[in-house]
Structures are given as C-alpha cells and as structure tokens.
Amino acid sequence: MITALLLIEIAQTYGIPVGVAGQLSSVVSIVSVLMGLLMSFLAIKYSYRSLMLAGLAFYVVSFIGSYLAPDFATLLVTFSLIGIAATMVNPMASALVGALLSSDKRAKIISWFFAGTALCVLFGSPYVTYVTGAWGWKANFLLFALPFASSALFLAYAAIPRSSSPRSSQSQVSIIHSFREIITNRSAVSCILCTILTEAAWMVTPVFGVTYMRQVTQLPLSLSWLILVGTSTSFMVGSLTGGRLVDRLGRQRLAVFSSFMLGVLMFAYLNVSTPLVSAALLFVGCLVSSMRYTVSESLTLEQVPALRGTVMSLNAIALSIGVTVASGLGGLLLLTYGYGGLGFLGLFSVAAAAFYWFTVKDPLKT
C-alpha cells in the first residue's frame, strides 16, 4: 500500500522515473513466485509455526532496511524481502487455521484475513498520507508498517502452540511422494488453476479500476478517493459475508456463484460510461470478489489435509501468476481494444466457475 500511494515521492527521492520506481512491485512478485516454489518444499519438512515466524521476521527486516536504504538499488533489495515474507506468512496462516481449528470455524477465520486487508487500506491510506506530509514517505516504514509487523511477530510467537502442525508425520513422507499426491488430485489442481483464472480477472480492478473511472466516466480527481472507500468497504463486507455463507450454501456452490458473478461484473462495469452505474457495479464486484477469496481459500485448504502447507504455498504462486497475467495481458488488451476489451478478462473468472462446478470436490461435503 505504501508504494501504491507514494510512487511519485519515491521516484523524486532517488531521482528516477516513476516507471522505474514502479518496478518495486514487479520485483516483489518475482521473488514471491520463487519463494513460493521453495515454500512448497519447506512446508513438508518444517512446522507451519516456524515458517510463519520466519516470514514475520523478514517483514521486520524489510521495513527497517527500506527505511535505511540510501539508494534505489538498496531499496529494491530490502523491499523485495516482502515477497519472501508474504509467501511465508500468508500460506502458513491458512495452513495453521486448518491445523488448529475445527472445520466449521475455518471459513469465518479466513474471512477475517481478507477483511483485515480491506480495513488496512481503508484506514491506513489517510494515515500514510498524513505521515508522509509530516515526516516524509520513508517514515511510514517505521511508524506504520514496522509496528504492525513487530506486534504480529510477538503475538504469533506467544499465541500459536508449538505443536501446531504435524511436522513429524510430514517429515517421514518423501517430497516426491508428497508432490505426486497433490498433482494427481484433480480437485486440488483445479482449485489452484481457478485461483490463477479468478485472480487474473479480479486484478483488473486494483490495477486499472480508478484510472478507468477517471478517464472514461469523467470522475473528477477530487472524488476519486470515494472509489477507494467504496471498494474497501465492499471488500470487507463481502469477506465477512462469505465466511458465514460457506457453511450454509457449501464451499463448492458458493465458489461457482462468486466466480461467475465476478466475471460478469468485471465485464459490465468496464463497459458502462455512466459514473454512478459503473461505480455501483464495481462495488458489487468487490463484494463478490472478496466472497470468492474467502471460499476459494477455504476450499483449497481442505483438498489435501496432510499437505496443507504445500498446497497453500502452490496456491500463493498461483495468485502471483494471476497478478502477472492481469497486468501483462490486461495492458495489451487496453492498448489494443480500450477499456471495453479489458473487461473480457472477466471471462477467465467465468471459466473458473465451470472448473469449480465440474472438477472440484469439497472434501467436507456430507
């Protein structure tokens, strides 16, 4: 969030073009994919708790290093550690939910992961803006990011029991056998594929959404912040709603519904030039997308219970691939066909709905 808001300030500090400063996110994505591959092995041999604590420590090191970075090259290195941290923390957090909580509570807890992200954007954005104006953009690493990361590290160390994942049983299973078990599970592979497809469709919004509203619907800059408030609020509500609907409607059916509706809504709002109508479709799309995140994470988590850490690490790689597809293919469609063509990425999510329906099974379904 810091880089998304402050790319101009970062570029000015180091005397580089904004486009070069934007490569911070690209480097994080590349590191995330590479670390995700490594984590799929590490999750077989080490406890989820240990890996999560290590990831949180990487966050702390990254934020301190980024604050102290004297030049952009150093910042690239220290900031890229976020890719390592996120790929260790996020999948292991989900795996720990599967290991520690009963099946009827998992979806609700996972929904808070995504609602918390929305809350961070909603309340963190004005705080980051204030800190930047008062002490400069680098101060956000010390006054915003570092306190949260340090608190999370302390709480995770104190609250998560040491016997939080079946490390001993996993260690007796060969890595090759473990991967064979996942790859030959059609439902698990389909869940990971659906993550790529739906992420590619959804990421159109964070990458191009506000720009579309300003350029096509002629939304003035003075009102653009309302889009951020609306999308964050919708995302938070949708996450929590999804966590409650999972047990009532079933993981598979909710995954089919949310993926299909996401695709339709992404296409719709990018082909409507009326500001209020387009914004309404966008907000509903955010709500449905956050429901999809919750149910997708919950459904993928249950596919191979003995190898949750490895499956969720592979799912994290799928998320990064989806982001890359959205940025690359989305940019090409935008240049070639305009924003209307960009909306066709929503078809990826419609295809994911079909995969969820025909090839994915809910192991907890009775």
As a three-state string, the secondary structure of 313-334 is HHHHHHHHHHHHHHHHHHHHHH
Q: Which helix (H) or strand (E) holds 111?
A: helix 103-135
> Could you tell me if residue 250 is left (phi over 0), alpha (psi between -120 and 50 degrees) or otherwise beta?
left
**pLDDT tens for the 366 residues of the chain, in order:** 676 667 778 888 999 887 688 778 778 888 988 998 899 889 888 899 999 999 999 999 999 999 999 999 999 999 999 999 999 999 999 999 988 888 888 888 998 888 888 888 778 878 888 888 899 999 999 999 999 999 999 999 999 988 665 554 445 456 777 888 899 999 999 999 999 999 999 988 877 776 777 777 776 655 666 777 888 889 899 999 998 898 788 899 999 999 999 999 999 988 887 878 888 898 999 999 999 999 999 999 999 988 888 899 999 899 988 888 887 888 788 888 888 888 899 999 999 999 999 999 998 875
pTM over 0.85: no
- CATH number listed for the domain at residues 2-160+174-357: 1.20.1250.20
Token pair 């080490």 in the structure block, residue: 46
Angle subtended by helix axes 175-183 and 308-342, to nearest 10: 40
Which pLDDT score, from 0 to 100, does residue 168 have?
42
pLDDT at position 201 is 92
The predicted pLDDT at position 222 comes to 57
Whole-number pLDDT of residue 218: 75
Q: How many CA atoms lie within 13 A of 225 on its CB side?
A: 7
Q: How far is CA 276 from the centre of its chain?
A: 27
Tell which residue, 250, 251, 252, 254, has the closest CA to residue 262: 254
The tokens for 266 are: 């992404």
| Per-residue pLDDT, 115 | 87
* Rg of the chain (C-alpha set): 20
